[in-house]
């Protein structure tokens, strides 16, 4: 298939995903339907670009990496109950408290269902860029992009596993009536960054962007908008997450003073325990 029709089908698919999530949110009054598709739709888009025509090694590599990303993220989301009824992200309830029902209804259409699905397509579009360019052999930049993607994939997987074990141990202690000394995680990767999983997620998609450059696109080309907007979204969501955590645990302020927000960096003092 030619690149233009392949992109058109991806855009129509994105619109269908957005419409479905909006409709389900109206019916169920839950607003995390995009979260449930977050790790799935980029796999669909990149696989479509890879196999819509004669696949080349670069696109196959990209599709394999995104499938690896999506499989692990889906597993992590599922084990936390994200796909279960009532598995809405706790932050949406907070947003609903801060704005009027009408404003949230507009936000649900424009941002929750609309923008987020557009963003998921945008971060996948380096695959379409590679599809659009003449095939060229894999090179050093491909190795750097793939190596960086896998490195940050491991970083996110490790951070999520550390968080999972910490939260389970905390719940076990609370259920058993045992004292819970540490309210939030400050060890492991979380000693170097307050959100190592957020950092790794963003970094993976910046590495993914490099595949377009490796295929022959300029270093600065239009598909960078996906990585830029994803980074901006994480900046906003991280601020909200931290505000809610600080409200729940005032001692989190000490952790903020000693530990980098996103970029892994040696702590400036004792961990924020």
Model pLDDT, residue 271: 43
Give pLDDT, residue 269: 58
Q: What is the pTM of this model?
A: 0.93
17: how many CB neighbours lie within 10 A of its CB?
Answer: 23
- Could you give the CA distance from residue 153 to residue 25 in angstroms, rounded to a whole number? 30
- pLDDT tens per residue, range 67-118: 999 999 999 999 999 998 887 888 888 899 899 999 999 999 999 999 999 9
Across the range 143-171, mean pLDDT stands at 97
Distance of alpha carbon 259 from alpha carbon 148, whole angstroms: 23
Q: Where are the alpha helices (DSSP H) in 29-125?
A: 33-37, 41-51, 57-79, 90-98, 101-107, 116-124
For residue 222, pLDDT beyond 50: yes
Please report which confidence band the pLDDT of residue 272 belongs to, taking 50, 70 and 90 as the band edges: very low
Token pair 């270093």: residue: 219
pLDDT above 90 for 3: no
- Distance between CA atoms of residues 143 and 149, nearest Å: 10
Please calculate the CA angle 188-192-194 and round it to the nearest 5 degrees. Answer: 90
Considering only 84-88, 100-104, 132-136, 198-202, which range has the smallest mean pLDDT?
84-88
- Are 108 and 22 in contact by the 8 Å Cβ rule? The answer is yes
């Amino acid at each position: 298939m030619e690149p233009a029709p392949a992109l058109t089908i991806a855009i129509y698919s994105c619109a269908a995903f957005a419409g479905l999530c909006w409709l389900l949110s109206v019916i169920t009054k839950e607003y995390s339907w995009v979260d449930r598709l977050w790790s799935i739709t980029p796999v669909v888009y990149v696989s479509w670009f890879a196999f819509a025509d004669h696949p080349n090694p670069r696109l196959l590599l990209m599709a394999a990496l995104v499938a690896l990303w999506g499989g692990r993220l889906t597993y992590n989301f599922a084990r936390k109950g994200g796909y279960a009824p009532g598995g809405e992200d706790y932050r949406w309830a907070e947003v609903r408290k801060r704005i009027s029902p009408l404003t949230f209804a507009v936000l649900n259409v424009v941002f929750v269902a609309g923008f987020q699905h557009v963003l998921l397509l945008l971060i996948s579009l380096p695959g379409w860029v590679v599809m659009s360019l003449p095939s060229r052999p894999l090179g050093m930049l491909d190795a750097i992009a793939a190596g960086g993607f896998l490195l940050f994939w491991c970083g996110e997987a490790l951070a999520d596993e550390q968080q999972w074990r910490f939260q389970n141990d905390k719940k076990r202690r609370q259920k058993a009536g045992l004292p819970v000394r540490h309210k939030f995680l400050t060890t492991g990767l979380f000693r170097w960054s307050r959100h190592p999983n957020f950092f790794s997620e963003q970094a993976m998609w910046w590495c993914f962007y490099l595949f377009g450059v490796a295929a022959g696109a300029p270093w600065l080309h239009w598909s960078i908008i996906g990585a830029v907007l994803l980074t901006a979204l994480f900046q906003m969501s991280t601020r909200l997450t931290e505000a809610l955590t600080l409200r729940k645990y005032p001692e989190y302020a000490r952790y903020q003073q000693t530990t980098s927000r996103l970029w892994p960096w040696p702590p400036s003092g004792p961990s924020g325990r």
